[in-house]
Amino acid sequence: MARENRWLAALALLGGLLFLSPALYSIAVSFQTAQSYYQGGFDPTLDNFIRAIGQYDFARYLLNSVIVSGLVTLIGLSLATMAAYAFARFDFPGGNLMFAATVATLMIPSHITLIPNYLSLARVGLLDSYAGLVLPAISNGFAAFFLRQYIKGIPRALDEAAYMDGARPIQVLWRVIVPIARPAILSMGLFIFIGEWNNYIWPLVAVGREDLYTLQIGLARLYKLNPGEGAVDWPLVMAASTITILPVLAGFLLIERHLVRGITMGALK
Amino acid sequence: MSTLTDPSAVPSGGRHSLFRAGLRRRATPYLMVLPLMGFIAAFTYIPIAASLNLSFREWDFLSPDKPFVGLDNYRLLLSSHEFWNALKVTTVFALISVPLRLLLALGIASYLVRETLPSRFLRGALFLPSVTSTVAIAVVFSWIFSTDYGLMNAGLQLLGAPKVMWLQDPQLALFVLILVNTWKQLGYDIIIYIAGLQAIPQELYDAAAIDGGRRRHVFRRVTLPLVMPTTYFLLVISVIDAFQVFTIVDVMTHGGPAGATDMLVNMLFRVGFTLFDIGTGSALAVLLFVLLIALALIKSRFLGRNIHYGS
C-alpha cells in the first residue's frame, strides 16, 4: 500500500511538471544569455531582467498593474460587499430586480460594452488615465452575487443581537458581517485582483500612452515589436513574461485554497 | 453608538423624528446598493443600449454627426466574406475546444477527486495556468511553436521529422490556438468538476457497489447524470469563453495566416478600433451578443430535461 502511494506521488509529480514544462522552461530561458540560448549550454545571468527594466520600462508597467489591479480590487470589493449585504438582509422594493441585473452581468459578454465605453470615456477625457482603466472594471456583479450567497448563510440572530445593542445597519455590516465573511471577501478580492491583473483587451483599447501600459500591454508590445520570428530576442521576451507571471504565481502558491474555494462556490451555488 | 440614531429603537423626539427614522431605515438598502448599481448601469447596461443605437448609424468617431442608416451596417456585415469567415472560424474553435475541455476535465477530475497529497498537487499544477496571464501564455507558446527556435520543432528534429510551420500554416494555426486555450482553461474546468463530483452522495456509489455495478456502468448511470448541472454550467461558461476569445489570437497569430484564425472579437477590435468604423463595429457587437444569448437559450431548452433525470 505504501509503495503504491509512493508510485502515485511520483507519477503525479511527473505529470504536473510535464504539464507545466512550457512555463518552467520559459522561466529557465529568461535567466540565460542570448549566446548560450542559441548555441546551447547554460550560462545563468540576470541581464535579461536588467534590460527589461532598464531599456523597456517593465518596472513602470509592473507599478501600473499593481495600481490598477489594486484600485479595482479595493473599490470593487467595497461596493460589492455593501451591495451583497443589502441584497442578503433587506427586503426592499426593486431589490430583486436589481439583484437580477447584478447577476445578469455574469452572462453578458463584455465585448458589447467596448465601443460605447471607449466613446463615453473619450467624451469625458478619461482615456489614457488610471481612472479610465479602473472605472469600467468595477461594473462586475460576480463578487456581489457570491458574497450575497455567503452572507445569507450567516445566522440573522447575530445581526439582531447587534441591533439590540443599538447598532446601525452599516455598523452591523462592518462589525458583524465583515469579520465573519472575511474568508469569502478575501477569496473574492484575490479573484478580482487576478482577473484585473490579466486583463488585456480593455487596457489595449483605453491606453495609448506608454507610461500607462500595464504588464500585459507591455509584454504584448515587446513581443510584437520584433519584426519576423527569427529576430525575436527570446531570452528578453521570456524575462518580461516571467515578470508578468511571477507576482500572481507567488500569490497563488500562498493562497491556492482560498482561490479554489472562491471559484467553486461561485459555480455551485 | 447612541440610541438617538438607532432606527430600530423608538425615537424620543415625537412624530417628526419618527418619520425621519423610518425614512432612513427604508433608504439604507438603496444607499448600499446604489454605488454598485451605478457602475453596472453606466458601464454595462447603458453601453448595451448605446451599441444598439450606434449599430443603426454611420460614424467614423471624428465627424460631428452620426446619420441614421437603418440596417445598412448589418447588411454590409452579412454580405461580407470577412464576417462569415470570422463566424466560421469562431464556431470551429468552439465546436472543437468546448467538448475537448469538458471531456478531458471530467476524465481527469474523476481521478483527482480523492483528497490525497498527490491528487492535491496535480490539481494545483493543472489549475495554475488558468490564473496565469493569457498574454504571457500566448507569448510562451508562440515561442514553443516557433519554426526555428521552438521546442516542438526541436522535438520533431530529434525524431528525424522535418520542421513544421505551426503558426504560419492555415491548416494548423487554429489547432495550435485550441491547444493553448485548452491548456490554459483545463484546470479551471477540473476544479469545478471535482467540486461537482464531491457533492454526489457516497451512498449512491455504495448502493451501486452492492448491486454489483461495474466501474464503467456506475460512471454512466450514477456519475454522469449527477454531474449534469456542473456540465451545464461549464458548457455555458466555455461556449461564452470560446466566442469571446481574443487575447491568444491577437498575440499569437493576429488572425492570420490569411484569416485562418480571425475570430469575431478580433474582427470587432479591428473594425472598431483600427478602422474606427463605429457603426459596423457596433452592429458586429450586437450580432455577437444576440448569438450568445440565443445559444444560452437553446442550450437551456435542450439540456433542461437531462439535468434532473439523466440519460
Residue B128 lies in a domain: yes
Q: What pLDDT sits at residue B14?
A: 56
Distance, in angstroms, between A86 CA and closest chain B CA? 5
pLDDT at position A261 is 66
CB contact, 8 Å: A203 with chain B?
no
A25 touches chain B (CB under 8 A): yes
Task: Report helix, strand or coil for A56.
Answer: coil
pLDDT value of residue B6: 45
Mean pLDDT, residues A145-151 taken together? 92
Q: Is A249 helix (H, G, I), strand (E, B) or coil?
A: helix
**How many distinct structural domains can be found in chain B?**
2
What 3-state class would DSSP assign to A116?
Answer: helix
**Gap from B304 CA to chain A (nearest CA, Å):** 17
For B124, the closest of A22, A168, A256 (CB atoms) is: A256
Q: What are phi and psi of B44, to 5 degrees?
A: -125, -55
Q: Examine residue B67 and state whether it is found in any structural domain, yes or no.
A: no
- Contacts A117 to B, Cβ<8 Å: 43, 47
| B31 vs A86: CA distance, rounded Å | 9
What's the pLDDT score for residue B267?
96
How many percent of chain B have pLDDT more than 90? 50
User: How high is the pLDDT of residue A269?
Assistant: 45
Whether B215 and B299 map to the same domain: the answer is: yes
Indicate whether B172 and B228 sit together in one domain. Answer: yes
Which of A225-234, B74-83, B218-227 shows the lowest per-residue confidence on average (mean pLDDT)? A225-234
Chain B contact for A234 (CB, 8 A cutoff): yes
Q: Mark whether B29 and B156 lie in a shared domain.
A: no
Rounded to the nearest 10 degrees, the angle between the axes of helix A58-89 and helix A215-225 is 140
Q: Is A245 on the interface with B (CB under 8 A)?
A: yes
Report the Cα B19 to chain-centroid distance in Å. Answer: 49
Q: Which three cell numbers stand for residue B286?
A: 450586437
Does residue B62 form part of some domain? no
Whether residue B83 is found in the same domain as residue B50? no
User: Which grid coordinates belong to B240?
Assistant: 461564452
Q: Residues A142-155: what's their mean pLDDT? A: 92
In the structure, what pLDDT confidence band is assigned to residue B135 with cuts at 50, 70 and 90? very high
Q: What is the mean pLDDT of chain A?
A: 88
> Is a pLDDT exceeding 80 seen at residue A203?
yes
Percent of chain A residues topping a pLDDT of 90: 55
Average pLDDT for residues A73-83, to the nearest whole number? 97
Q: How far is CA B289 from CA A108, A136, A147, B69, in A?
A: 8, 19, 27, 21
Q: How many CB atoms neighbour CB B42 within 10 A? A: 16
Contact A112 B289 (CB under 8 A): yes
Lowest mean pLDDT: which of B33-37, B94-98, B297-301?
B297-301
For residue B132, list chain A residues with Cβ-Cβ distance below 8 A. 23, 198, 245, 248-249
* Structural domain contains residue B69: no
Domain-located, residue B152: yes
C-alpha dihedral over A144, A148, A150, A153, to 10 degrees?
180
Which CATH superfamily includes the segment(s) A61-268? MetI-like (1.10.3720.10)
Same domain (yes/no): B116, B29: no
Beta carbons of B121 and A135 less than 8 Å apart: no
Q: Do B54 and A260 touch (CB under 8 A)?
A: no
pLDDT band at B15 (very low <50, low <70, confident <90, very high): low
Q: Please report the residues numbered 107 through 126 in chain A whose beta carbons come closer than 8 angstroms to any beta carbon of chain B.
A: 107-120
Same domain, B171 and B228: yes
Q: A39 in contact with B at a CB cutoff of 8 Å? A: no
Question: Does one domain contain both B277 and B139?
Answer: yes
Q: How confident is the model at residue B201, as a pLDDT?
A: 85
With an 8 Å Cβ cutoff, is A249 touching chain B?
yes
Sign of CA dihedral B235, B239, B241, B245: positive
Model pLDDT, residue B305:
47
Inter-chain touch B272–A165, beta carbons under 8 Å: no
The shortest C-alpha distance from B125 to chain A (Å) reads: 5
* Residue B44's pLDDT band (cuts 50, 70, 90): very high
In-domain check, residue B191: yes
Residues B87 and B48 in one domain: no
Instruction: Tell me, yes or no, whether B46 and B139 share the same domain.
Output: no
What digits encode the pLDDT tens for the residues A95-143? 999 999 999 998 888 899 999 999 999 999 999 999 999 999 999 899 9
The boundaries of the domain holding residue B45 are 3-54
Assess whether B143 and B204 both reside in one domain.
yes
Least confident of A18-27, A111-120, A184-193, B202-211: B202-211
Residues of A in contact with B285 (CB under 8 A): 111-112, 114-115
Do B84 and B50 fall within a single domain? no
Instruction: State mean pLDDT over B25-52.
Output: 94
* 8 Å CB contact between A211 and A45: no
CA dihedral of A221, A227, A232, A236, whole degrees rounded to 10? -40
Domain boundaries, chain A: 61-268
Residue A39 has pLDDT above 90, yes or no: no
Please judge whether B36 and A82 are an interchain contact, meaning their C-beta atoms are less than 8 angstroms apart.
yes
Per the domain annotation, does B138 fall within a domain? yes
Distance CA B32, CA A18 (A): 48
Question: Do residue A120 and residue B188 have CB atoms under 8 angstroms apart?
Answer: no
pLDDT band at A42 (very low <50, low <70, confident <90, very high): confident
CATH for B131: 1.10.3720.10
Query: What are the residues whose beta carbons fall under 8 Å from the beta carbon of B7, sequence distance 6 or more?
Result: A168, A169, B21, B22, B24, B25, B28
- B129 inside domain: yes
CA distances from residue A217 to A213, A241, B251, B275 in whole angstroms, order as listed:
6, 11, 10, 20
Q: How far is CA B78 from the centre of its chain?
A: 25
Residue of A nearest to B272 (CA): A115
Q: Indicate if B190 and B221 belong to the same structural domain.
A: yes
Lowest mean pLDDT segment, chosen from A9-13, A166-170, B38-42:
A9-13
Distance CA A187, CA A256 (A): 10
Contact status of A208 with chain B (Cβ, < 8 Å): no
Minimum distance, in Å, between the CA of residue B39 and any CA atom of chain A: 5
One-letter amino acid at B41 equals A
A16–B contact, CB cutoff 8 A: yes
Indicate the residue of B47, B192, B243 with minimum beta-carbon distance to A117: B47
Q: What is the pLDDT of residue B86?
A: 96
Residues B276-281, mean pLDDT to the nearest whole number: 94
Q: Tell me which chain B residue has its CA closest to the CA of residue A140.
A: B40
A to B CB pairs, distance under 8 Å = 265
Report which of residues A120 and B303 the model is more confident about: A120
CB-CB neighbours of B210 under 10 Å? 8
Q: What is the pLDDT of residue A58?
A: 93
| Cα gap B54→A115, rounded to integer Å | 9
Lowest-pLDDT choice from A49-63, A104-118, B134-148, B286-300: B286-300
Closest CA to A197 of A22, A23, A61, A75: A61
User: Which of A:138-167 have CB within 8 Å of B?
Assistant: 138-139, 141, 144, 163, 165-167
Query: In sequence order, what are the beta bridge partners of B57?
Result: B68
The residue of chain B nearest to residue A84, with distances taken between CA atoms, is B33
The model's confidence at residue A10, banded by pLDDT at 50, 70 and 90, is confident
Confidence of residue B190 (pLDDT cuts 50, 70, 90): very high
The more confident residue out of B24 and A145 is A145
Report residue B249 as a C-alpha cell. 489570437
Q: Which of B5, B29, B137 sits opposite A86 (nearest CB)?
A: B29
The residue among A111, A146, A178, A215 with the most chain B CBs within 10 A of its CB, best to mutate, is A111
